[in-house]
Amino acid sequence: MSYKDLPRQSALNERHLALGSKLDAEWNGMPIPQSYSTDRYEETTIVRSRAGLFDVTGLRLINVSGPDAEAMLNAMLTSDVSKIAPGHSAISNIVDDEGSLIDDVLVYRDGPQDFRLSHGGGSLEEALPLFTEGRDVTAAKDDDVHILSLQGPMALDILTPHTPLDLAGLKYFRHARTTLFGFDVSLARGGYSAERGYEVFCTAKDAVAIWDAIMEAGKPFGIVAASWDCLDIVRVEGGLLFFPFDMPKPDTTPWEVGADWTVDLSKPDFRGKAALQAKRGKERFRQVGLEIMTDEAVAPGAKIFHGGREVGTVNSTTYSRHLMKSIGLAHLPPDLAGLGTEVEVETDKGRKVANVVRTPFYDPMRLRTHPTDERMA
């Protein structure tokens, strides 16, 4: 099947093809540039030291508006949406009646009654009708919006001259409507790289021109177009979970993946609240980071052993040339989740010793995304 047969298309396909992508991978029904002709490790080095531009339009966007929008979202999501001010965003989750994760969601609040929901590969869209019915709210998929993500320490310098928005004053998880290179956009501070970054939300008709303008403005700074292979490396280095790959058990709860902070049990009833209350403190496993003593990435899904007994799985993996370590995000029983615990990981070259370590693997204090001066402001 050709990438042209997929139901969703990025306006940037021709740019990706010119960069060496075969567009032979897809996500959410859209072709994605899994790799370019450039080396993914070189791309990673440049994202960590300068800046890389990613096309993450494969995310799915839902616009939610109306007098009952906040109440509807509070009934569906685990966090309290009323605490999100206009111009702010927050990560939340959706669970089913049993308290099992079915999607993670980034909620952007544009106004008192206006929200955008960005989500990946979960069941948000299937769940929506359960919560919109009987409420004065509109929820509509937006397949026109394109998302360009500029990540790296030079991102601020590249974009600042080309927007009237005070980018330096835009804090993490804040966003604003503005112009960029003369085009109407929404600019958000965030990303999936564990670096300072900005996500540009634009229309399909403007995406190519904005992509080209960012690449041109970034030339003096050494910018690179960055592939999804690179995105996966930087997000695992940053200890950032990816639904559903880091939740392979269909009945995983937020408590088991360290997402407690997305659950507000103090708010009025929401779907799965009673189940979450009942399951709290009964976690079968914990989310951990592993350093694996091998010079290559292990296969996702690799089995973990302790004392000859299978005890868990490694869910997301990469070899980090930046850190010179094979690393993975894994699930282990609570009694084996302590820092320094030694286990063995099954690889195609036999079992390899691994140790539980602190995450994120890269920038453990998250100073890149949360600078000290902003924490004190």
CA dist 23 and 135 (Å) reads 41
Token pair for residue 319? 């070899």
- C-alpha distance across the termini of the chain, in Å: 52
Contact present, 218 and 154 (Cβ < 8 Å): yes
Residue from 100, 105, 127 nearest 116 by CA: 105
pLDDT confidence band for 21 (50 / 70 / 90):
very high
pLDDT score of 373: 87
Contact present, 374 and 196 (Cβ < 8 Å): no
What does the angle CA 70 – CA 74 – CA 75 come to, to the nearest 5 degrees? 120
3-state class (DSSP) for residue 289: strand
Residue from 105, 24, 56, 369 nearest 232 by CA: 56
Percent of the chain with pLDDT over 70: 99
H-assigned helices in 241-350: 273-279
Report the Cα 203 to chain-centroid distance in Å.
21
CA dist 279 and 100 (Å) reads 10
Q: φ and ψ at 89, to 5 degrees?
A: -140, 165
Beta bridge partners of 33: none
How does the average pLDDT of the chain come out, rounded?
A: 97
Give mean pLDDT, residues 46-63.
Answer: 98
pLDDT score of 281: 97
pLDDT score of 160: 98
pLDDT score of 374: 87
3-state class (DSSP) for residue 263: coil
Alpha carbon separation from 101 to 4, 62, 107, 272, 291 (Å, rounded): 32, 19, 16, 10, 26
pLDDT score of 121: 82
pLDDT score of 39: 98
Give mean pLDDT, residues 322-327.
Answer: 97
H-assigned helices in 265-345: 273-279
Residue from 61, 237, 223, 231 nearest 153 by CA: 223
Domains of the chain with CATH codes: 3-57+145-237 (3.30.1360.120), 59-129+251-279 (3.30.70.1400), 285-377 (2.40.30.110)
Task: Count other Cβ atoms within 10 Å, centred on residue 99.
Answer: 23
Q: Is the pLDDT of residue 47 over 90?
A: yes
Length reported for the chain = 377
For the sheet with 52-55, list strands across it: 175-180, 183-189, 197-202, 146-151, 52-55, 224-225
Q: Is the pLDDT of residue 278 over 90?
A: yes
Give mean pLDDT, residues 82-95.
Answer: 97
Long-range CB pairs of 95-99 (<8 Å, 24+ gap) are 95/253, 95/254, 95/271, 95/272, 95/275, 95/276, 96/271, 96/272, 97/271, 97/272, 97/275, 98/251, 98/272, 98/275, 99/253, 99/254, 99/272, 99/275, 99/276, 99/278, 99/279
Residue-wise burial string across 303-340, b where 16 or more C-beta atoms lie within 10 A, e elsewhere? ebebeeeebbbbbbbbbbebeebbbbbbbbeeebbeee
pLDDT score of 321: 97
Alpha carbon separation from 270 to 134, 264, 280 (Å, rounded): 16, 10, 16
Residue from 176, 173, 149 nearest 165 by CA: 176
pLDDT score of 377: 55
What tens digit of pLDDT does each residue of 247-263 get? Answer: 999 999 999 999 999 99
Task: Count other Cβ atoms within 10 Å, centred on residue 45.
Answer: 16
Report the Cα 141 to chain-centroid distance in Å.
19
Contact present, 128 and 137 (Cβ < 8 Å): no
Longest Cα–Cα distance in the chain? 62
pLDDT confidence band for 375 (50 / 70 / 90):
confident
Give mean pLDDT, residues 121-145.
Answer: 95
For the ranges 19-23, 35-39, 61-65, 117-121, the lowest mean pLDDT is seen at 117-121
Q: Is the pLDDT of residue 81 over 80?
A: yes
Give mean pLDDT, residues 337-341.
Answer: 98
pLDDT score of 376: 67
